[in-house]
Amino acid sequence: MSTLFNLSGKKAIITGSSKGIGKATAMRMAEHGAKVVITSRKIDACIEVANEINNKYGSDTAMAMACNISDKEQLEKLHSTSVDWCGDIDILVCNAAINPYFGPSLNTPDSAFEKIMRSNVQSNFWLSNMVLPTMIKNKSGSIIIISSIAGLHGSSLLGAYAISKAADSQLARNISVEHGPHGIRANCISPGLIKTDFARALWENESILKTHTSKSALKRIGLPDEIAGAVIFLASEAGSFTTGQNIVIDGGEGETV
C-alpha cells in the first residue's frame, strides 16, 4: 500500500508553505519522498521550515524562496529558480490566499476585491500555466488548489473571498478537461474551519467556533495535517484516476441539521 502514496523523485512547489496547511503539506510530501519548494512572502519563515525539513529528511529535500503571489514577475522567478534547483515540477499546490476584507459585500472596497481576485485566482492561473508546459511534455502532473467551503454556498461576510474560492474550483475543472489527455490531473480541496493562523479570527472567537463545530458531524475544528493527507492522495498514484474534483473536508458540516 505504501507505494500508492510514494512521491520519491517528484518535485513540488507549495505556495503559502511557511505555516498552516501549506507547511503540513510540505512536511508530508517530504516524508513521502518529494523535493519541496517552500515559499511565502517572508523568507525567514520559509528558511525555518526548509531547515526543519532538511534536518529531518535530508539536506537537499527543501528549498526556501520568498514570493508575493500577486506579482507575476515574482511567480516567474519562483518557477524558474525552482526548476534550476530540482528540475521539472511534477506537483503544484496552490495554497496561499488572502482575505483583506471581512464584512458585507455591499461595503467591499474595490481595492480589496481586486487584491483578493489577483492573489486567490489569477496567481493560481499564472502559476499553473507556468508549470503546465513541462507537465505536458512529461505526460504527467498534478495541480492541487486549496479552495474553501466558503466557495460552495452564499456568505454574508466573506463575499469576495467566497467568489474567489468558487473560481478556484472552476480553474481546476478547466485544467483537468484541457490537459487530461496529457496525463495531467487538477483538483481542488475545500476545507472547512481549520486551526490555522489564517482562520485565527474565527476559531479564537468562542461564539463563532461553537457555531461552526455544532453544525458538524465531528463537533470539532480541523487540523492542517488533516488537509495535507488529502493533498498527498491527489499528488500520488493513489489519486491517479481523480481529476476535476472539489473534495470537501469539513468534519461533516453539511451532514447535520
Task: Read off the pLDDT of residues 14-50 as tens digits, 9 standing for 90 and up.
Answer: 999 999 999 999 999 999 999 999 999 999 999 999 9
- The rounded distance, in Å, linking the Cα atoms of 179 and 89 is 16
- The rounded distance, in Å, linking the Cα atoms of 87 and 101 is 38
pLDDT at 195 over 80: yes
Q: Give catalytic residues, as residue numbers.
A: 161
- List Cα–Cα distances, 74 to 41, 112, 221, in angstroms: 10, 21, 34
The pLDDT of residue 53 = 98
Contact assessment for residue 172 and residue 190, using Cβ atoms and an 8 Å cutoff: no
Task: Report pLDDT digits (tens) over 99-138.
Answer: 999 899 999 999 999 999 999 999 999 999 999 999 999 9
Classify 94 as helix, strand or coil: strand
Q: What is the mean pLDDT of residues 72-85?
A: 98
- The rounded distance, in Å, linking the Cα atoms of 8 and 4 is 11
pTM over 0.75: yes
> Number of folded domains in the chain?
1
Express as a percent the part of the chain with pLDDT over 70.
96
Which domain CATH number covers 190? Answer: 3.40.50.720
- The rounded distance, in Å, linking the Cα atoms of 166 and 74 is 25
**91: which 3 cell numbers?**
506537483
pLDDT at 231 over 80: yes
pLDDT confidence band for 1 (50 / 70 / 90): very low
Task: Report pLDDT digits (tens) over 137-184.
Answer: 999 999 999 999 999 999 888 899 999 999 999 999 999 999 999 999
Count, in order, helices (H) and strands (E) of the chain.
9, 7
244 lies in which domain range?
2-255
Q: What is the mean pLDDT of residues 44-65?
A: 98
